Amino acid sequence: MRIVSAQEMRSVDESAFRRLGIPSFAVMESAGRAVVSVLMRCAPELSHVDVLCGPGNNGGDGYVIGRVLRDLGVDVDLFSTSEPTSKDAILAASAFRASGGTVQSLSTYLPRPDSIVIDALFGFGFGGSGFRGSLDDELSGVSRSIEHARATARVRVLAVDVPSGVDATLGTAALSCITADWTVTFQYPKRGHFLFPAAEKRGELFVVDIGVGEQGEFKESIADIPQIEAFARRSFHVGADAHKGTKGHVFVVGGSEGCYGAPLLSARAALRLGAGLVTIGLSRQAEALLTESLGELMSLVIWDESQDLDARAKLTEFVDRRLGKLSSLVIGPGLGLGDRSATIARAILRIARERDIPTVIDADGLSLIAAREDLWGDLPPRTVLTPHPGEMARLLNTTSEKIQADRFGAARTLSTDRQCWVILKGAHSVVAHPSGECSVVPVSAPALATAGSGDILAGVLGSLLSRSDAFGEDVILGATLHAYAGKRFAEHPVGVVASDLVPTIADVANDLISFEQAVTPDFPVLAIYPAVPS
């Protein structure tokens, strides 16, 4: 499903009004009724609803919601900041009053225990320039009283489109932004639903069809993750005549002094996810320490930390004589940042480029190419970079704060400029294609915030890329598997370490393979996204 900015959504609405001839008030009516449909699903026992309306079209949706709920016999109190100002909101308010409803001033509002609050104050009309301050005093007080009632009086909140105080495009939020238990948004999810801090405010997200179609002016292509079960069934299909030689050979290069465990994590993840063979290319010192931990893994000493070496000649010889046909390369976990590490990286990347070996660059590998412009020319045609925000900042010569402020733009810039795939890690990881298209992993997993979880992702990608020609699908699949594995620790996040993810990722993969059919949401719901863990 496409993910849009506030301006792109306005273009969809305008197209529906202008090209399709759909009356704008009919769209408002559809939106309000769709919200009620979701509300009845989420809180079927509801008896009292407070509807909070602003002066614009978001408030107009609120008036429709209030009227429809009254028609259903629900006790409704409606509070407004002021009289409506848009044409359609005026009509909606008039219809609400005609149904017997009364409008009270928002200044008198206090939440009732066990009630549902409908936040129809601003929608995506708020904070279009990335507002970071506070709401005015009156609305700040309302927000505080709602938050207190959520904590003490079993009050729940449903936001219309986005919670009030959120920028729907940039994902910024006012200091006293309303926090929702559910958000119902129209036709497409908005970028701010997947960017922080706004993502933490939305609760469970429902995307509903309001009949405006799919025409609009879309400046950029951003989507969520499609058909992941189909990707998994294709990637993990094993023929009846399979053997370890047909399931891919992953070469993991890394492990300098102080970081010997990093390539071991990557290699174990690659093997667990189905690679037939996994070899770690490491230093002599690392092999001596890791020998008893290798188990099913193979090792290949390609440098000695106490000696100089002709890395290009030595590594070429090893690849030719010892490793045979490599299927994928993972380079960077624990590799180190010095000149020796750069020489090793250059030699290995050139071999991978000459042989068109799918390549994953992570951790120290990213820092090396960020610091040495000449290494970019050695990247193989099929390369995926997996930076966290700090590494992305080094790759783009900026700050991690600026990366987080525009995660889509950062991932797209690096991917198009360097013509490689990029996974910008973090809550709701962004996957960018060299063409500029982006996908969002619609999962946030705080359990992944632990040392070594990125090494696990690198190994997962290496395994997937070692046995498939569907490079892009497997990059997306790897990022998604990693996120969903982390999510499985949501209820017990304390004590999770990276190695715990290895068997869990395999479990997630097996569940996806056996998943018969995705549950189709009941109309008008088009898609549902889980709440972000608090």
Task: Give the model confidence (pLDDT) of 170-183 as tens digits.
Answer: 999 988 899 999 99
CB-side exposure of 71: number of CA atoms within 13 Å? Answer: 14
Per mean pLDDT, which of 4-13, 242-251, 325-334 is the most reliable?
A: 325-334
Q: How far is CA 125 from CA 9, 120, 450, in A?
A: 11, 11, 37
User: Rounded distance, CA 269 to CA 304, Å?
Assistant: 26
User: Rounded distance, CA 187 to CA 209, Å?
Assistant: 5
Q: How confident is the model at residue 530 (pLDDT cuts 50, 70, 90)?
A: confident
For 246-287, how does the pLDDT look when each residue is reduced to its tens digit (9 = 90+)?
889 999 999 888 888 999 999 999 999 999 999 999 888 888
pLDDT of residue 89: 97
- Return the closest-CA partner of residue 185 out of 160, 157, 202, 153: 160
Answer yes or no: is pLDDT of 305 > 90: no
Answer yes or no: is pLDDT of 221 > 80: no
For 63-86, how does the pLDDT look when each residue is reduced to its tens digit (9 = 90+)?
999 999 999 999 999 999 999 999
CA 521, 523, 529, 534 torsion-angle sign: negative
User: Rounded distance, CA 49 to CA 111, Å?
Assistant: 10
pLDDT of residue 127: 58
DSSP string, 327-386: -EEEE-TT--SSHHHHHHHHHHHHHHHHHT--EEE-THHHHHHHH-GGGGGG--SSEEE-
Q: How confident is the model at residue 502 (pLDDT cuts 50, 70, 90)?
A: very high
User: Rounded distance, CA 485 to CA 497, Å?
Assistant: 12
Question: Between residues 321 and 382, which one has the greater pLDDT?
Answer: 382
Question: Between residues 80 and 351, which one has the greater pLDDT?
Answer: 80
Answer yes or no: is pLDDT of 51 > 90: yes
Q: How confident is the model at residue 518 (pLDDT cuts 50, 70, 90)?
A: very low
Instruction: Provide mean pLDDT across the span 372-392.
Output: 97
- CB atoms under 10 Å from CB of 240, counted, come to 4
User: Rounded distance, CA 408 to CA 188, Å?
Assistant: 17
Instruction: Provide mean pLDDT across the span 95-107.
Output: 96
Q: Per mean pLDDT, which range of 116-130, 228-242, 265-279, 339-353 is the poorest? A: 116-130
Q: What percent of the chain has pLDDT over 90?
A: 66
Alpha carbon of residue 525 to chain centroid: 20
pLDDT of residue 300: 87
Question: Between residues 497 and 521, which one has the greater pLDDT?
Answer: 497
pLDDT of residue 96: 98
Q: What share of the chain is helix, strand, coil (3-state, %, to 5)?
A: 45, 15, 40
Answer yes or no: is pLDDT of 516 > 60: no
pLDDT of residue 503: 95
Q: Which H or E element spans position 439? A: strand 438-440
Answer yes or no: is pLDDT of 322 > 80: no
Query: Which tokens is 70 given?
Result: 């009254």
pLDDT of residue 33: 97
pLDDT of residue 55: 93
Q: What percent of the chain has pLDDT over 70?
A: 92
pLDDT of residue 72: 95
Computed over every residue of the chain, the mean pLDDT equals 89
User: Rounded distance, CA 53 to CA 109, Å?
Assistant: 12
- CB atoms under 10 Å from CB of 54, counted, come to 27
pLDDT of residue 53: 97
Instruction: Provide mean pLDDT across the span 139-155.
Output: 90
Phi and psi torsions of 197, nearest 5°: -85, -5
Whether residue 18 contacts residue 24, with contact meaning beta carbons closer than 8 Å, is answered with no
Answer yes or no: is pLDDT of 387 > 90: yes
Question: Between residues 162 and 443, which one has the greater pLDDT?
Answer: 162
- Return the closest-CA partner of residue 270 out of 466, 451, 423: 466
For 449-478, how does the pLDDT look when each residue is reduced to its tens digit (9 = 90+)?
999 999 999 999 999 999 878 999 999 999
User: Rounded distance, CA 277 to CA 263, Å?
Assistant: 15
- Return the closest-CA partner of residue 301 out of 279, 283, 319, 317: 283
Answer yes or no: is pLDDT of 136 > 70: no
Whether residue 455 contacts residue 498, with contact meaning beta carbons closer than 8 Å, is answered with yes
pLDDT of residue 27: 93
Per DSSP, what are the bridge partners of residue 303?
A: 283
226: helix, strand or coil: coil
Answer yes or no: is pLDDT of 56 > 90: yes
Q: Per mean pLDDT, which range of 38-52, 269-283, 323-337, 421-435 is the poorest? A: 323-337
381: exposed, middle or buried (Cβ count in 10 Å: 0-12, 13-18, 19+):
middle
DSSP string, 95-109: HHHHTT--EEEGGG-
- Return the closest-CA partner of residue 341 out of 375, 318, 371, 364: 364
Per mean pLDDT, which of 132-136, 249-253, 492-496 is the most reliable?
A: 249-253
pLDDT of residue 423: 98
Whether this prediction's pTM lies above 0.75 is answered by: yes
Question: Between residues 187 and 133, which one has the greater pLDDT?
Answer: 187
Close Cβ partners of 99 (under 8 Å, ≥ 6 residues apart): 67, 70, 71
Instruction: Provide mean pLDDT across the span 508-531.
Output: 77
Instruction: Provide mean pLDDT across the span 39-52.
Output: 94
